[in-house]
Amino acid sequence: MPLPVTLSLVDVTVSYGDRVAVDRLSLEVRRGEIVGLLGPNGSGKSSVLAVAAGVLDPTTGTVTMNGRERSADPAAFAACVGLVPQEAAIYDELTAVENLWFFGELYGLSGSDLRRRVMRALARVKLLDRAEHRVNTFSGGLKQRLNLAAALLHDPPVLLLDEPTASLDPASRDAFFVDLTRFRDDGHTILITTHHLDEAECGCDRVGVLDQGKLVACGSPTELLRPHAAERAVLYGHLRTRPPKYLERAIRRRLGSRAELEVTGRRLRLSANTSEELGEALAMLLAEGVELDAYRTPAGALERALLENNEEPLPQSLP
């Protein structure tokens, strides 16, 4: 049985003059799930999030929370939403507690209630030990966790996050999604925009693919990946050190024609028939002392959905 709908956008269009940023989009986000909006820059992701947050009125269409239209009671609607913008909306010269106290007062909170909420929010994002530290001493990951704490202060049932991991390293991205999973399990409804294919595949219960303002695909990662289950496994990487020339021949001797290694400048593309073979080839690279700054595997059908709806191909390796 499907979970109750918490947030619903129906036939939403957003226009900026003659430009249509969101084109008749309908999307339901149910209680206790993480829904990701995936798409290239300019696909309309941030505009959808702004409409869902109530900070932007749609040109046409309706936005409802548990069946109640936002236009009927904008203040009550806003109280149900916690917004995490892409850029950390916090003050570097203040401590973590001072930042949350400031935002709590903007929510109309005060006194012992505000104090309790500040400490609870810091505990929820595992920042209690940094409560009295100034934000200018925080890493990017800690700043984004504090940004999330600010959105949680008033206990909103819905969290909206606009590419919150865009500036984070892979380890911080993973930790951030661990936090989101905990909040989902606590019953929060979460709508997140991202351009990271692996985040959409591994971190979201359902994924909506946007292209030029249109929702071109929507479903669970399993549903979207099923048509492409037989595709080869691929890994893209950015090299710190270049592999020796003989290594490609060594990989082919081990795995035969099943594996391919391509190096262009500092960019690496490694492919094999299965993820197990891909892991074996990667182990051979690392054993030979090849160092990678970062690497990722594309989200199969999610990347295919984007490719099929864009004339320009997606980047095939890390920047």
- Tracing tokens 């289950």 back to the chain, one arrives at 229
> Cα–Cα distance between 198 and 300 in angstroms, integer?
9
> Cα–Cα distance between 33 and 113 in angstroms, integer?
29
> Cα–Cα distance between 157 and 118 in angstroms, integer?
17
| Enclosing H/E stretch for 193 | strand 189-194
DSSP state, residue 3: P
Angle at 184 between CA 70 and CA 134, to 5 degrees: 90
Q: How confident is the model at residue 122 (pLDDT cuts 50, 70, 90)?
A: very high
Q: Which domains does the chain have, with CATH numbers?
A: 5-225 (3.40.50.300), 227-308 (3.30.70.980)
Mean of pLDDT values over 217-235 = 69
Mean of pLDDT values over 117-140 = 95
Beta carbons of 258 and 229 less than 8 angstroms apart:
no
pLDDT of residue 258: 65
Of 85-89, 148-152, 236-240, where does mean pLDDT reach its minimum?
236-240
Mean of pLDDT values over 112-133 = 95
Higher pLDDT, 28 or 312: 28
pLDDT of residue 309: 45
Beta carbons of 124 and 132 less than 8 angstroms apart:
no
Mean of pLDDT values over 270-294 = 76
Tokens of 194: 């991202």
- Phi-psi category of 56—alpha, beta or left, where left has phi over 0 and alpha has psi -120 to 50? beta
pLDDT at 307 over 50: no
> Cα–Cα distance between 95 and 289 in angstroms, integer?
42
Highest mean pLDDT among 49-63, 195-209, 218-232: 49-63
pTM: 0.72
DSSP state, residue 161: E
Higher pLDDT, 248 or 227: 248
Sign of CA dihedral 107, 10, 72, 3: negative
pLDDT at 279 over 90: no
CA distances to 118, 157, 284 from 104, in Å? 8, 17, 52
> Cα–Cα distance between 243 and 241 in angstroms, integer?
7
Residue-averaged pLDDT of the chain: 82
Tokens of 123: 């505990």
Q: How confident is the model at residue 296 (pLDDT cuts 50, 70, 90)?
A: low
Three-state DSSP class for residue 142: helix
